[in-house]
Amino acid sequence: MPEWAVLLLVCGLYLVLVLGLGVWSGRTVSKSVTGYVAGDRTLGVVVLYFVLGASVFSSFAFLGAPGWAYSRGAAAFYIIAYGTVGMVPFYFLGPRARQVGEELGFVTQAEMLSHRYDSRTLSVVLAVLSVVAFVPYLTLQMKGAGLLLETISEGVVPQWLGALVAYGVVLIYVFASGMMAIGWTNTVQGLFMMAVAWFLGLYLPEALHGGIRPMFEAIAASGKEAMLKAPGLAADGSTWSWGGYSSAVIVSAVGFSMWPHLFMRAFTARSDRTLKLTVVLYPTFQLFLVPILLIGFAGVLAFPNVSPADTIVPHLLTQIELSPVLVGLVCAGALAASMSSGDAILHSAASIGLRDGIKPLLTGTMSDTRQRQWIRGLVVAISATAYYFAAFSEVGIVTLLLGAYGGVAQIFPLVFAAFYWPRATGSGALWGLLAGIGANTLFLVAPHLRPFSLHEGVYGLVANVTVLVAVSILTTPHDRTRLAPYTGLERASAEPSA
C-alpha cells in the first residue's frame, strides 16, 4: 500500500471516530432550543476550556500560523500577542452576560444586545454581520482541511473533495447533536492537536537542523535575519510596519472574545465561577502556539519556495522520515484543528441566523421544534455557502481571518456600553455599529485610502465609538427597568437614566 493511502486511511478512521462521538454526545441533552444551542447551560470547566480553546485555534493556527512563520517570520508573533490579552475583557463581560442570559433566557449575543438596546433592527444587523464574518472563518477551516488532504494524498484527493468529506462529517454531527457534540468533540480534538503540535514542534527542528537553537542560528546566518526581527515581513516581502503590526494586535485582541461563537459560550457555563476559572486558565492554551510557529521556521531553509505557504505543514510531513501511521496521526491532528473550530462556527452561525436574523422579522411565536428545524436547515445552507468559497477562492488563510476580525471587533463597543454605560441608547448602538462596519469595509476594500498604515478595524472602532457616544447623548435614554439586569440599577424605578 502506498504511503499516501496509509495517511488517508488513518485520517479516515479518525473522521469515523469523531462522527461517532459527535452523534453519541447528544443523547442526554434536552430537545429544547436551549439544549441544542446552549447545551442546557451545563458545561463545566474542562469542557468549556477546550470549547473556547479549540474553537479559536483552528486551521488558522495549524496551517496559517506556520505559513506566516515560514513566509513572514516574526510577523507571526502577533498571534501570540493578541491571544495573550484577548480574553481579558471576557473575564468581566462574560459572567455578566451569563447572568443576564440565565435570567432572561438568552442564548446568543445579539439577543442580549437587542434587548438591552430595545432594537429589533439591531438584532437583524448583528445577525447579518455575524453570518457574513462567519462565512470566511468557516471557509478558512474548509480550505485548511482540503489543503491538508490534497497534499498528503499527493493530489489523489483534490482540495474540493477533501473539504467536502471532512465537513460532511462536521455537518452530520452538528445537525444531530448541536452544542453537546461541539463540547465533547472539541475536548477530544483539543487534547489530540496539543499532543501533535508539541511532537512536531520539537521533532522537526531537531530532525532538520539539530535543534531549535541551531535552526535559528542557521536562519540568521543565511541572510534571512529579517525574518527573526519584529515586526517581521509584510505580504509583499517588505518589512511590516510597526503601525500595521500593533494595530493588527489591537483589533484582533478587541475582537477576540466578541466572536459570536465564542461569546455565546458565556450562556453555556454552569456558573460564574466556572466561566471565570476557564478564562483565567485560557492563556495556557497559548502554549499550543509555540511549537506551531517552530514548525514553520523549521521549513524556511530546509524546503524553500513552498507555495502556498499555508501548505508548509503537510509538505513537511510528506518529506520527513517517519512511520506512515505516525504521519497519519499527525495529519489527523491538523484535521482536528480545522474541525474543532468549524463545528462551533457552523453551529453558532445557524443559531444566530434564526434567533437574531429571521425570528425578529416574523410575527407570532415559534415552537422549539420549529426553531430546531430552522437552525438545522441553516446549518446545511451556511455549510454550502462556505464550501463554495473554499472550493473556488484563492485568498490566503490568515488574510481571510484578519479581514473578518475587523468587522467582528465593531461589536465590542456595544457590549462594553451595554454593561458599563447606562446612557447608551439603541439608536446610538445601531448607528455606531453601522458607522464602524462602513469604515472598516471602506478601508478593507480600498487600503490606499488609509491615512496611516493601520488595520482597517482601527478606523472602524474610531467611527463606531464616536457615533455611539454622539447619538446616545442626543437621543432619549432607556428606562431603569430595562437597564436593571445589565447595570444593577434599581428595578423598581421606571425613571429614565441620566
pLDDT in tens, 184-196: 888 888 888 888 8
pLDDT at residue 492 in the model: 37
Q: Which of 3-17, 212-226, 383-397, 427-441 has the lowest mean pLDDT?
A: 383-397
Question: Is residue 434 assigned to a domain?
Answer: no
The answer as to whether 207 is a domain residue is yes
Q: What is the pTM of this model?
A: 0.79
Return the pLDDT at 489: 47
Cell of 32: 429544547
* Residue indicated by cell numbers 456600553: 417
Least confident piece of the model among 255-264, 337-346, 487-496: 487-496
**Which range, of 62-76, 318-332, 455-469, averages the lowest pLDDT?**
318-332
In a domain, 204, yes or no: yes
Provide the pLDDT for residue 496.
43
CA–CA–CA angle 339, 344, 346 (5° rounding): 90
Contact in structure between 172 and 18 (CB atoms under 8 Å): no
Q: What is the largest CA-CA distance in the chain?
A: 77
In-domain check, residue 473:
no
Q: Is residue 445 part of a domain?
A: no
- Residue 229, CA distances (Å) to 7, 74, 76, 80, 291 in order: 37, 6, 11, 15, 18
The residue among 395, 322, 325 whose CA lies nearest residue 147 is 395
pLDDT greater than 60 at residue 385 = yes
* Higher per-residue pLDDT: 323 or 498: 323
Q: Is residue 444 part of a domain?
A: no
- DSSP letters spanning 437-469: HHHHHHHHH-GGG-SSS--HHHHHHHHHHHHHH
Contacting residues for 481 by C-beta, under 8 A, at least 6 apart: 491, 493, 494
**pLDDT over 50 (residue 216):** yes
CA atoms within 13 A on the CB side of 67: 22
Indicate whether 494 pLDDT > 50. no
The whole-angstrom separation of Cα 36 and Cα 136 is: 24
Tell me: the pLDDT tens digits for 296-329? 999 999 999 888 887 888 788 778 877 888 888 8
Domain assignment of residue 437, yes or no = no
- Helix, strand, coil in percent for the chain, rounding step 5: 80, 0, 20
Is the predicted pLDDT of residue 447 greater than 60, yes or no?
A: yes
Dist. CA 218–CA 224, nearest whole Å: 9
The Cα 492–Cα 372 span in angstroms is 36
The pLDDT of residue 285 is: 79
- The predicted-structure confidence for 470-490, as pLDDT tens digits, reads as follows 999 999 999 888 899 998 644
Residue 286 domain-assigned (yes or no) = yes
Among 101, 98, 96, 67, smallest CA distance to 399 is for 67
> Predicted confidence band at 460 (pLDDT cuts at 50, 70, 90)?
very high
The pLDDT score that the predictor gives to residue 346 is: 86
Query: What is the percent of the chain where pLDDT is above 70?
Result: 94
- Cα 110 off chain centre by: 17
Provide the number of structural domains found in the chain: 1
Task: Tell me the pLDDT band of 25, cut-offs 50, 70 and 90.
Answer: confident
Mean pLDDT of 400-422: 86
Given this model, what pLDDT does residue 491 score? 39
State how far Cα 21 lies from the chain centre. 22
Per DSSP, the three-state class of 1 is coil
Residues 355-363 have a mean pLDDT of 85
Q: Which residues contact 343 (CB under 8 A, 6 or more apart)?
A: 22, 170, 173, 174, 181, 182, 185, 186
User: Which domain range does residue 330 map to?
Assistant: 3-420
Specify the DSSP class assigned to residue 269. Answer: B
The domain spanning residue 24 has which CATH number? Answer: 1.20.1730.10
Is 459 a residue whose pLDDT tops 90?
yes
* Percent of the chain whose pLDDT exceeds 90: 29
User: Per-residue pLDDT tens for 116-158?
Assistant: 999 999 999 999 888 887 887 788 788 878 888 888 888 889 8
What is the mean predicted confidence (pLDDT) over 424-439?
96
Average pLDDT, the chain: 85
pLDDT-derived band at 395 (thresholds 50, 70, 90) equals low
Nearest to 134 by CA among 261, 306, 7, 15: 261
Q: How many angstroms separate the CA atoms of 26 and 94, rounded?
A: 25
| pLDDT at residue 402 in the model | 61
Task: Judge whether 295 and 334 are in contact, CB under 8 Å.
Answer: no
